[in-house]
Amino acid sequence: MNRIAVRSVVGGLLGGRNCNRYISTAVPVRPLDGAEFLNHRNGDVLGGFYWRRMMSTVPQSAETASLGEKEQKESQSSVSDDAKKGSDSVVVSNYWGIQRPKITREDGSEWPWNCFMPWETYKPDLSIDLSKHHVPKTFLDRVAYRTVKLLRIPTDVFFQRRYGCRAMMLETVAAVPGMVGGMLLHLRSLRKFQQSGGWIKALLEEAENERMHLMTMVELVKPAWYERLLVLAVQGVFFNAFFVLYVLSPKLAHRVVGYLEEEAIHSYTEYLKDIDSGKIENVRAPAIAIDYWRLPKDSTLKDVITVIRADEAHHRDVNHFASDIHFQGKELREAPAPVGYH
Ligand SMILES: [Fe+2]
Ligand SMILES: [Fe+2]
């Protein structure tokens, strides 16, 4: 198993693509059945191919060449058909009695996604104030603010104005704090026999929302092999560092995330400027984004970035709010958790 895992990671890294390519459509991944698994293993396909498909829900055929606009349209319109074919051809045992009921969209068409359900989708609140900023007041605030500003320097140097790559890479980091915070509050709830006041759910929702940002971005840009390597290294460091930070000082941890979200709003604003100026092509929105944010079918990249930026503003508010609760000497569970705050 270890050999397979190593081959999978190495194969995935080598299977990386240039970050600047646009890829449009998505279909749910069909799990390998037993015979296919063995074939892939013997044929040395497991490492690169399957891992890449797990990273991106783009069909392999779509990855082999850059799609023109016509191809993008055709691929997007066929997403439901592909998904249906994929689910129809899955051979699974029903010994366990697990079956997903047929799920449809509001218009009656079949729901093509296994990774999220219609009741997890939402219409983003675009009226949120993007300019809000927490002015550092205390020593810990200043530590958080300076830390985030320092972290921005290598990010600016590495990515410069390649905002597609930048956003995709940063989302791999942004999805970590909510999961760490939610996990630690979960464990605390178990240890103390106490309710969390809804904060476990609120933070895990944030992590899931950030992960959906990543799943959307990866439909638009493909990470190069060295960027995948960077994600491995950064995740290893950041997860552990944030875990320790949250254990030692949740108020500092939430403040850091609040400032990270302020930076994310800035980055997505610059991204939108480059789309408006024509430096970045305003391609069609990926199918996954249209369904997740309940966007009109003719939505574009600009619409997607706009709703992601609104999400980041909500995360900013949640984390600064959480930090403020701690600064008042209270526990999170004493204040209403912003569950479903998008
Ligand atoms: Fe995000
Ligand atoms: Fe965020």
284-335, pLDDT tens digit by residue?
999 999 999 999 999 999 999 999 999 999 999 999 999 999 999 999 999 9
Residue 279 falls inside a structural domain? yes
Residues 165 and 273 in one domain: yes
More confidently predicted of 58 and 239: 239
Q: Which two tokens stand for residue 128?
A: 């949120």
**What number is the average pLDDT over the span 118-130?**
95
CA of residue 109 to ligand 1 center, whole Å:
29
- pLDDT at residue 44, as a whole number: 35
Residue 223 falls inside a structural domain? yes
CA of residue 276 to ligand 2 center, whole Å:
23
| Entry pTM | 0.76
CA of residue 81 to ligand 2 center, whole Å:
33
Residue 76 falls inside a structural domain? no
User: What residues pack around ion ligand 2 (CB closer than 5 A)?
Assistant: 174, 261, 312, 315
Residue 51 falls inside a structural domain? yes
Length of the chain: 342
Residues 59 and 145 in one domain: no
Mark which of 49, 67, 85 sits at the end of a domain: 67
User: How buried is 82 (Cβ within 10 angstroms: 0-12 exposed, 13-18 middle, 19+ buried)?
Assistant: middle
| Residue whose token pair is 């390649």 | 162
Residues 149 and 9 in one domain: no
CA of residue 55 to ligand 1 center, whole Å:
17
Residue 204 falls inside a structural domain? yes
CA of residue 199 to ligand 2 center, whole Å:
16
Mark which of 30, 46, 67 sits at the end of a domain: 67
Residue 37 falls inside a structural domain? yes
- pLDDT at residue 3, as a whole number: 53
Residues 62 and 151 in one domain: no
Residue ranges making up the domain that contains 289: 139-334
Residues 184 and 294 in one domain: yes
91 pLDDT band, cuts 50/70/90, is: low
- 202, 319 Cβ separation under 8 angstroms: no
- pLDDT at residue 158, as a whole number: 85
**What number is the average pLDDT over the span 252-278?**
96
pLDDT digits (tens, 9 = 90+) for 160-193: 888 888 898 899 999 999 999 999 999 999 999 9
CA of residue 291 to ligand 2 center, whole Å:
19
Kindly report the CATH number assigned to the domain that includes residue 229.
1.20.1260.140
- 292, 116 Cβ separation under 8 angstroms: yes
Q: How many structural domains comprise the chain?
A: 2
Residues 314 and 190 in one domain: yes
CA of residue 83 to ligand 1 center, whole Å:
26
CA of residue 312 to ligand 1 center, whole Å:
6
- pLDDT at residue 194, as a whole number: 96
Mark which of 67, 90, 122 sits at the end of a domain: 67
Ligand closest to CA 177? 2
- 57, 113 Cβ separation under 8 angstroms: no
Residues 59 and 197 in one domain: no
CA of residue 335 to ligand 1 center, whole Å:
24
Q: Is residue 90 pLDDT above 70, yes or no? A: no
Ligand closest to CA 213? 1
- pLDDT at residue 89, as a whole number: 58
Distance separating alpha carbons of residues 27 and 82, to the nearest angstrom: 6
CA of residue 174 to ligand 2 center, whole Å:
6
Residues 173 and 274 in one domain: yes
More confidently predicted of 281 and 94: 281
Ligand closest to CA 315? 2
In a 13 Å sphere around the CA of 266, the CA atoms on its Cβ side amount to 13
User: What residues pack around ion ligand 1 (CB closer than 5 A)?
Assistant: 171, 174, 210, 213
> Which percentage of the chain shows pLDDT scores above 90?
63
- pLDDT at residue 161, as a whole number: 80
Residues 171 and 299 in one domain: yes
Residues 42 and 151 in one domain: no
Q: Is residue 27 pLDDT above 50, yes or no? A: no
CA of residue 216 to ligand 2 center, whole Å:
14
Residue 177 falls inside a structural domain? yes
Greatest alpha-carbon pair distance for the chain in Å reads: 62
Residues 150 and 256 in one domain: yes
| 29, 38, 78, 298 from 112: Cα distances, Å | 11, 28, 11, 18
Residues 56 and 177 in one domain: no
Ligand closest to CA 319? 2
Residue 75 falls inside a structural domain? no
Ligand closest to CA 167? 1
